[in-house]
Structure 1
Amino acid sequence: MSAQPDASPLYTVAVRALCEFGLRRGDLDQRFSGGPTAQEGIEGHALVASRRGAGYQRELALEGVVGALRVRGRADGYDPALHRLEEVKTHRGRLERQPESVRTLHWAQLMVYGALLCRQQGCADVELALVYLELGSGQETVLTRHCTAAELEAQLLSACAAFEQWARLEAAHRAARDAALQALAFPHAAFRPGQRTLAEAVYRAARGGRRLLAQAPTGIGKTVGTLFPLLKAVPGQGIDRIAFLTAKTSGRALALDALGLLRGSQGPSAGTTREAPAAPQQAKVFPLRVLELVAREKSCEHPDKACHGGSCPLAAGFHDRLPAARLEAVSLPAWEREPLRALAARHGLCPYYLGQELAPWADVFVGDYNHWFDPNALLHGLSGAQGWKTALLVDEAHNLVDRARRMYTAELDPATWRALQRQATGELKRALQRLQRCWREVVRLPAQAEGAEAAESEVPDSTHGQELQPSLLSEDGTVAGVARPAKPRAPQPPYRVLDGMPVKFVEALQLAASAVLAQLADEPGRPDPALLDFAFDALHFARLAAAFGPHALLDLHTDGRHQRLCLRNVVPAPHLQPRLAAAQSVTLFSATLRPPHHHIRLLGLPEDTLQLEVEAPFTAEQLRVRVARRLSTRWRHREASLARIVAIMGAQYDERPGNYLAFFSSYGYLRQVAERFAAERPDIPTWTQARGMSEAEQAAFIECFTEGGRGVGFAVLGGAFSEGIDLAGERLIGAFVATLGLPQVNPVNEQFRERLQAQFGAGFDHAYLYPGLQKVVQAAGRVIRGPEDRGVLHLLDERFDWAEVRALLPGWWRVGE
């Protein structure tokens, strides 16, 4: 290949992607590379740079044109005085365990950077240094080579030759994709009411690189209404990738259906959309690569084996067989779960890691929130490394606060490492013994005592946390319907909040995790699950501890002799802000985003975030909303409430027989009402949600709601049947909601309330009221799904008639007696 540019269109490729594409060989091996995160890599690079002398240049931008390719990247460091170019790699444990193929790839990367440097500076040679930083000890291992410009140029040309054919295919695909998207037509004869408003707002946000918070009611076609304008914006706005992120599997299926519809494909998921029938089959497959991101545990074909060639047959020779599979993939109409699994089987590859390898070449990603927002997020890291302009669509965004809190929360159980210590030997045993000594110091740290017997939950366990508002307090001083926490009887309080982060304990935790990973790397078979879980939990805790601040809470739970340490995230904003800022544009949409400032503050959205509330296409006549005034579902009134609730439900069924859903604050309350209802109204069929239902059991519950059927399903508010299910027409004609959905009052949630009050004011609203009412509105939204639906909603608590609660209900509801 010529070193000079020719008439071919240029394709830009990053140095790392260039080398990984054509120079990797041999087995897939996750033992060595499973340690450092992207953030740890950044911190490691900064540490190395801080040890260098004056004039040291970090992140040196390098670029060159070779034939049809523009190759560019940033070398980690360059010392002009020594004329030495450095590539820094972080790792854990002993360096000699590193596979030779990995070392070869690292040298190839550095040599390409060296070639670009020689071109850029016109120099005849350069010293190359491969710097390995061990994260646990901070020790550097430096390997050096002196290379001439001619040697480096040969390496650059070789890497480009391996990539050029693929680059031409990619350039042709990109041109065909953009042309097809420019001509893309809306897949229906007309927009639904409110759908055009949403679509126009999404397009404007993409065009301006803005963040949009859009509340849009169920039934207007939000999935198509957000995907269509964003796809149309791709060519004109230079958007490289779109990521459609969901909270649940049902949302992912809807997105794949909508994309199948928009592409005019009759692929595995096309034609089953609940928003509209599929378009007719087109003669030619639409040039849009859609990759479904599936969790590793759901993709693994050999869960009893480790992810390396010595254990799993699908890892052995993985990189040798990858090029043929990658080339076949570009001819497939879809990269969804089952087509990808079949492709992997044809080539003897792991389907999960095949999906990871195809990710750089996909146009649209459909997957869970964690693929962008999690600390180890694939898409966020890939987007940054590739320099993509990525546009995000965040579906059912009211779930993101709780999900993000869980992503950035870590819990430790000392019983885990004590059990491991009894079986450990050598370095690992010493590390675990030190950890146990440091743990004893943590237990003795000064802390805030919290008196703590938690009342029964208003909803399944939720870690939400101004002084409590009097209007929602009962006369004995408890929050609307929950008993006052009792004072501890034992001298050792069952719940304590620690004043600060125990630094020595965190250091010991990191060393113990490193010792575990070092041992696991030498094991030929499947890793010991207990060791692996401990290592991941320990590293996750240590990473979050490094960023500990007012947005988080460190607490200690004691139950007899059993103790647990939890680092809880209260405000996800500090973690999410850089991830939201890294996207070209972000649209967060849901039917329940009221009030918007709650989400803007907790998620870390900028103050200039665009806000949209799409007018509902429904009328008040479609949904009769009745409030049971003079009925209390507060904790102390629940026994007394049973007769009234059963009577209201029975009377409504007699007035209009059909299918109903009844939501309650806990499984205990649900059981009480269900048993009494069955005893008093044995003529009405009932079916009940149970804890831990399998997917098959959940499907069976939904199947009870047949067109023209009759009966009452009992469910827990905030559970599997509160959102994400579509029971249109006569499949569901009414709902009963016997709770405000307020999270339970316990010491943890009270700490949340106090911290939210300190940061934003209105701590009670942010910790209790807003999350509760969102669940109520989501559950009620199951009743009216389309313009022809008619139904009734019974809000079974007198507090639904209070002004501060009414303000959070949908504006189109007309609440009556």
Structure 2
Amino acid sequence: MTNTIQIAVRSLVEHVYSSGSIDNRFRSQSTLLEGTRIHQQIQSTYKESDQKEVYLRTDLVFKDLIFTIDGRCDGLLFWKDEVTIDEIKSTSLPLDQLESDGLPVHWAQAKMYAYIYSKDHDLEKINVQLTYVQTESDDRKYLKKCFTFKELEGFAYEVVENYYPFAKLLDDHRQERNISSKQLVFPFESYRSGQRKLAGAVYKTISEKKSLFVKAPTGIGKTISTFFPAVKAFGEEDVNRIFYLTAKTITRTTAEEAASRMRSCGLCMKSVTITAKDKVCFKDETKCQKDYCEFADGYYNRINEAILDIVANESLMNRDVLEEYARKHTVCPFEFSLDLAYVADAIICDYNYIFDPRVSLKRLLEEQKKSTLLLVDEAHNLVDRGREMFSASLTKEHFLQLKKEFKTINKVIYDCANKINSWFISLKKNSDDQHEFTIDELDEGLIVLLNQFVEAAQPVLQLETSPNLLELYFNANAFLKIVDLLDDHYVIYGEKVKNDVTLKLFCIDPSKLLKKMGKGYRSKVFFSATLSPLPYYQDILGGQAEDYSLSVPSPFNEEQTDIFIKPLSTRYRDRERTKENIISMIYSLIQNRPGNYLIFFPSYHYLLSVYEQFVNEFPEINTILQESGMSEEERAAFLEQFKPNQSDTRIGFAVLGGVFSEGVDLKGDRLNGVVVIGVGLPQLCYERNLIKEHFNMKKKNGYDYAYVYPGMNKVLQAGGRLIRSEEDYGTIVLVDDRFLQKHYQSLLPLEWRNFIVI
């Protein structure tokens, strides 16, 4: 049996011909848009008989594989009896700095199109033209050669021969993967209650190319219940790639463990974990420049060998494995993980690699998306993360500092920064005495100034390194990118702090853009223990009427948890008054029910206030404090204090909605109780009130959308740390009089509603 390898012309030639170094000093965020503009500009000069964006496709047999190679050539030019393939390339470099004969990878792309076209039309010879355009000056350089069909055919087979070892490795692996997927059984002795139902719903969702929203309780085993049916879809050839998306490092580890468990049961699957660039960078500073970093210098000369090596020898490509091979081949570990994302079966990474328009994996082609599945873990986090990804801001102070820095260095940059600083000064004056103020429409003048600044900064950044200029260059680019997205899902507002002023493009409702960024994928599964109320999350995460939803009941007995409500006010104005009562309640609790406890507070300031008084009154009790800005090692040390079968009580003071209230798995006797202080409402602030007003105008409950639902989500997450298995028992105390109100009680899990008031 001969298997087919489908690959785009560009991907094929880039694999074989790419060379050079990573250099992110002046990579423009608007490069893609600029390239599109230039392509359209050149294509508009074509004659009526010429053609643009012509789809070309061919099958080429080499050894035991059929290569289906396709793509769109920029232009087909006809003059007399001559045919010319035109390949348009934009560059920020001055044209005299380009290789005089053009880049080999560009010739390879154009020649491959020429081969396909001449083969389809029985041409004995064909012209190939590279059209280089300088992005700022619009200067053009044309390079043209004529090739016989025989030359092009030899070239095409040579390219495929070079690609074959890698293609063969992947093809053999995918055949083995699909067979092992069919044979794979659920990797535990039995399903927990609800797990089979969840796995079945995910499988049905994939087979029907739908999306699914799942509320499934903490401790049910959501990771394996979603990952397992996704992997089974490999065997049906419904899915070729799985993205497991998370918001936190700890849930990434859980996904890696699930992948390892399935491998131990016979699954042949290659997974890669993408870790943030700042965390994996080998250098003291994260500067992706060939003259600073040996892992960036010549990266593209070595990357193919590195990929071939790791794919041939490893299945679980986590951070440690990636770093080992990155050092072995002297390649950037972060870029290495991104390149592996295009060949791995499962990619475990942050939400932003799919949903953030500024950093998403651009090379994932539409055809590939159709066989790609998105598993979105802890999906409740995607609401605020979505707002963050689709928002942008600029601050006056940064332009003032840049103006001072470049006053005697570069007049063009100085003038640009000065004009933008002046624009902010006038904005500040026109806002009267308001600290925060909304703006109906973005001033076109600012957009012009920012575009001028970006254009002026590019050539300067090619010659010198200024951290301030580089950061502002990227910020301005990001801001301009969000400008193109502005609609009624946004609010534009200004904020004054002393002499400074910030302008923000705030995405109030991320639903439309989350839906847009997730478009084209075969299926999406959004799941969380606290995706409640489901209609709210379906609405705000971009769900559609035809999507499936599922609410899985808790598999655990009510008897495993004792629920208490202490009706004290934890509202800001009452905190000092009720603090002593809270401290007495905590002490009474651990006296009557000794063990390990986590106590969650709605703010760090409130936490410290109670903690300091508690420690003064009861110095004999072992307490651990969540510090602000803890490293991963410090977090691990915090959790390590919660040991099973301890003779003494241990209390951890932590922040509600912080790193210890989600994804933490303290099984058995490691955790005996959770105390939640307050209903978790976000602090009253201008942005939250904008959210409230926006959804009120949409005839929805704005206060719930802005405050109640996000707050109660934190409460449910914190409480979910307690019962992780059928053997776990413990106590949950909810401290706030609002927990006795009907609306708040309706948001509690069913198994929490049989409570005792203390």
TM surpasses 0.5: yes
Is it true that 1:521 corresponds to 2:443 in the alignment? Answer: no
- Aligned partners of 2:111, 2:591: CA distance in 1, in Å? 80
- Aligned partners of 1:381, 1:233: CA distance in 2, in Å? 23
Displacement of 1:215? 0.9
Is it true that 1:360 corresponds to 2:342 in the alignment? Answer: yes
- What's the counterpart of residue 290 of structure 1? 271
- Aligned partners of 1:632, 1:100: CA distance in 2, in Å? 75
Displacement of 1:420? 2.1
Q: 1:798/1:133 Cα in 2 relative to 1: closer, same or farther (>3 Å)?
A: farther
| Contact 2:403/2:417 (8 A) holds in 1 | no
- What's the counterpart of residue 214 of structure 2? 214
- Aligned partners of 1:683, 1:224: CA distance in 2, in Å? 42
Q: 1:229/1:415 Cα in 2 relative to 1: closer, same or farther (>3 Å)?
A: same
- Aligned partners of 1:47, 1:377: CA distance in 2, in Å? 27
- Aligned partners of 1:44, 1:783: CA distance in 2, in Å? 58
Is it true that 1:374 corresponds to 2:356 in the alignment? Answer: yes
| Contact 1:439/1:505 (8 A) holds in 2 | no
- What's the counterpart of residue 678 of structure 2? 739
List aligned pairs for 1:331-730, cutoff 5 A. 331-333=312-314, 334-379=316-361, 381-384=363-366, 389-424=371-406, 429-441=411-423, 443-444=425-426, 491-523=432-464, 527-629=465-567, 631-707=568-644, 708=646, 709-730=648-669
Q: 1:602/1:654 Cα in 2 relative to 1: closer, same or farther (>3 Å)?
A: same
- What's the counterpart of residue 70 of structure 2? 72
Alignment match of 2:723 (pick from 778, 781, 784)? 784
Q: Identity rate of aligned residues, in percent? A: 33
TM-score by length of 2: 0.92
TM-score by length of 1: 0.85
- Aligned partners of 1:786, 1:599: CA distance in 2, in Å? 27
SS at match of 2:173: helix
Q: 1:395/1:505 Cα in 2 relative to 1: closer, same or farther (>3 Å)?
A: same
The Cα offsets for residues 766-816 of structure 1, whole Å up to 9 and x where unpaired, read as 111111110110011111111121112111111111111111111221233
| Contact 1:626/1:815 (8 A) holds in 2 | yes
| Contact 2:600/2:656 (8 A) holds in 1 | yes
Q: 1:322/1:724 Cα in 2 relative to 1: closer, same or farther (>3 Å)?
A: same
- What's the counterpart of residue 159 of structure 2? 159
SS at match of 2:322: helix
The Cα offsets for residues 578-611 of structure 1, whole Å up to 9 and x where unpaired, read as 2212211111111000112222222212221110
| Contact 1:725/1:782 (8 A) holds in 2 | yes
Displacement of 1:715? 1.3
Structure 1 stretch displaced more, 696-705 or 792-801:
696-705
One-letter identity of the residue aligned with 2:405: Q
Q: 1:51/1:775 Cα in 2 relative to 1: closer, same or farther (>3 Å)?
A: farther
One-letter identity of the residue aligned with 1:9: N
The Cα offsets for residues 341-393 of structure 1, whole Å up to 9 and x where unpaired, read as 21222223222233233332211111111111111344354244856621111
One-letter identity of the residue aligned with 1:816: I
- Aligned partners of 2:197, 2:133: CA distance in 1, in Å? 52
- Aligned partners of 1:548, 1:91: CA distance in 2, in Å? 28
Q: 1:748/1:352 Cα in 2 relative to 1: closer, same or farther (>3 Å)?
A: closer
Displacement of 1:299? 2.1
Q: 1:643/1:315 Cα in 2 relative to 1: closer, same or farther (>3 Å)?
A: closer
List aligned pairs for 1:89-104, cutoff 5 A. 89-92=89-92, 94-97=94-97, 103-104=103-104
The Cα offsets for residues 4-38 of structure 1, whole Å up to 9 and x where unpaired, read as xxx84332211011101111234444456554455
Is it true that 1:321 corresponds to 2:295 in the alignment? Answer: no
- Aligned partners of 1:388, 1:106: CA distance in 2, in Å? 28
SS at match of 2:549: strand
SS at match of 2:307: helix
List aligned pairs for 1:15-414, cutoff 5 A. 15-31=9-25, 33=27, 35-36=29-30, 38=32, 41-42=35-36, 45=39, 49=43, 57-67=51-61, 68-78=66-76, 84-92=84-92, 94-97=94-97, 103-132=103-132, 139=138, 141=140, 143-150=142-149, 151-264=151-264, 286-304=267-285, 306-333=287-314, 334-379=316-361, 381-384=363-366, 389-414=371-396
- Aligned partners of 1:344, 1:504: CA distance in 2, in Å? 46
Displacement of 1:255? 0.7
Q: 1:568/1:588 Cα in 2 relative to 1: closer, same or farther (>3 Å)?
A: same
The Cα offsets for residues 548-593 of structure 1, whole Å up to 9 and x where unpaired, read as 1221222212122112222222111232212212211111111000
SS at match of 2:312: coil
One-letter identity of the residue aligned with 2:595: G
* Structure 2 unaligned blocks of 5 or more: none
Alignment match of 1:766 (pick from 705, 722, 747)? 705
| Contact 1:448/1:499 (8 A) holds in 2 | no
- Aligned partners of 1:197, 1:140: CA distance in 2, in Å? 62
SS at match of 1:496: strand
Displacement of 1:515? 2.7
Structure 1 stretch displaced more, 21-30 or 571-580:
21-30
Structure 1 stretch displaced more, 428-437 or 782-791:
428-437
Displacement of 1:750? 1.2
The Cα offsets for residues 413-440 of structure 1, whole Å up to 9 and x where unpaired, read as 2222222233337996424423432453
- Aligned partners of 2:102, 2:733: CA distance in 1, in Å? 63
One-letter identity of the residue aligned with 2:656: L
The Cα offsets for residues 707-746 of structure 1, whole Å up to 9 and x where unpaired, read as 2341322111111111111112222211221211111212
- Aligned partners of 1:202, 1:287: CA distance in 2, in Å? 21
Q: 1:426/1:81 Cα in 2 relative to 1: closer, same or farther (>3 Å)?
A: farther
Structure 1 stretch displaced more, 220-229 or 64-73:
64-73
One-letter identity of the residue aligned with 1:364: A
- Aligned partners of 2:333, 2:130: CA distance in 1, in Å? 32
One-letter identity of the residue aligned with 1:72: D
One-letter identity of the residue aligned with 1:664: F
SS at match of 1:185: coil
One-letter identity of the residue aligned with 1:320: N
Q: 1:36/1:162 Cα in 2 relative to 1: closer, same or farther (>3 Å)?
A: farther
Displacement of 1:53? 6.1
SS at match of 1:73: strand
SS at match of 2:317: coil
Q: 1:99/1:222 Cα in 2 relative to 1: closer, same or farther (>3 Å)?
A: farther
Structure 1 stretch displaced more, 768-777 or 420-429:
420-429
Q: 1:234/1:8 Cα in 2 relative to 1: closer, same or farther (>3 Å)?
A: closer
Q: 1:205/1:88 Cα in 2 relative to 1: closer, same or farther (>3 Å)?
A: farther
Structure 1 stretch displaced more, 762-771 or 638-647:
638-647
- Aligned partners of 1:306, 1:66: CA distance in 2, in Å? 42
| Contact 1:299/1:351 (8 A) holds in 2 | yes
One-letter identity of the residue aligned with 1:686: T
Q: 1:533/1:324 Cα in 2 relative to 1: closer, same or farther (>3 Å)?
A: same
| Contact 2:370/2:520 (8 A) holds in 1 | no
SS at match of 2:347: strand
| Contact 2:28/2:477 (8 A) holds in 1 | no
- Aligned partners of 1:496, 1:782: CA distance in 2, in Å? 40
- What's the counterpart of residue 459 of structure 1? none
Q: 1:716/1:162 Cα in 2 relative to 1: closer, same or farther (>3 Å)?
A: same
